[in-house]
Structure formats: C-alpha cells, structure tokens
Amino acid sequence: MTSLFSKENGSKFLLWSLLVIVLDQLTKYWISSSIPVDTVGYRVASFFSIVHVWNEGAAFSFLASMGGWQRYFFMGIAVVICAVLLFCLLRTSKEKKWTCLAISLVIGGALGNLIDRILWSHVIDFLLFYIKTDSFFYAYPAFNVADIAVCCGAGLLVIIGFLGKEDPIKK
C-alpha cells in the first residue's frame, strides 16, 4: 500500500496551497493593521483601490445579512470541499501537473477564507475594481488573494475539463 503523501500522487502540490494561505493571510494582516474598516486606503489607479471591508457572506456578500448562521454554513461547506479536493488530489498522478495545481489553488483559497471565518467571523476583502465617470459608478465586489486562487483554480479545472486533456497548453 502506498502512502497518502507518496512521490507518485499530487501531494507535493499542497505547497501551492500553503503559499496561497500564507500570501492571503499576510496581505489581510497588512490591510487590517494599516487601513480602518470600510475605508479606502490607497487609490492605485482611476479604476482600482485598496480598501478594507468585511464580508460576512460568501461571494458578492451572498447571505451576508442573514443573522450569523451563514458563518457556520460557509465554514462547513469549506471543510467539505477541502476534504473532497484533498482526496482527489491524493488520488491524482503527479504527472497531471495542471490538475494538481488547480486543485491546490482551490484548497489554499478555501482554507485562507476559512481561517478568517474561524478567527474573525468574516472574511477580509481589500481589492476593489470600479468604473467611475461623472454620471456613472459601478464597483465590482471587493475580493482578496484567497478569492483569486479559488477562481484561478476553478477556471483551470473548467478549461482542462472542456479541452478533455490534462495539459491546456500543449496542442
């Protein structure tokens, strides 16, 4: 019987998950210690600002105003998703590098936001893109490093699935 963390499966890709978690938590620490909540800290460009907001819901603040039960709901979902993805990663050959990377990014992002929910009861978001003119303003919901990792990992899995082959770059 081979070890769960053998040289033959994708377990070494968990280092990508760890990298995502560390970058996510370091950036959130920086934001929390330097920008008051619900304020714009830095206007980087005419369409992008670094802000500090709390998200008690899921993506796009889904269920944020539901009274608190959603925290435990989203924590449970994150744990289940991470467990399923870890199982998949440990059963995936290390030769399927893009699949292993994609799964690891989703795990790292989910765990990064799970840490926030456990410690603070909310997720810290800070990247804000928007369109602003004299008569129009639209802001895309703020997000963080963990959200980027989840979206990139999920997007990569979709691309691999649609192409029907492991390596989306090779023809």
List residues with catalytic annotation: 125, 147
What's the token pair of residue 126?
A: 């800070």
C-alpha of 85 from chain center: 14
Tell me the C-alpha distance between 85 and 32, whole Å: 30
The residue whose two tokens read 């691999």 is: 160
DSSP string computed for 32-46: HHHS-TTEEEEEEET
What's the token pair of residue 42?
A: 């830095």
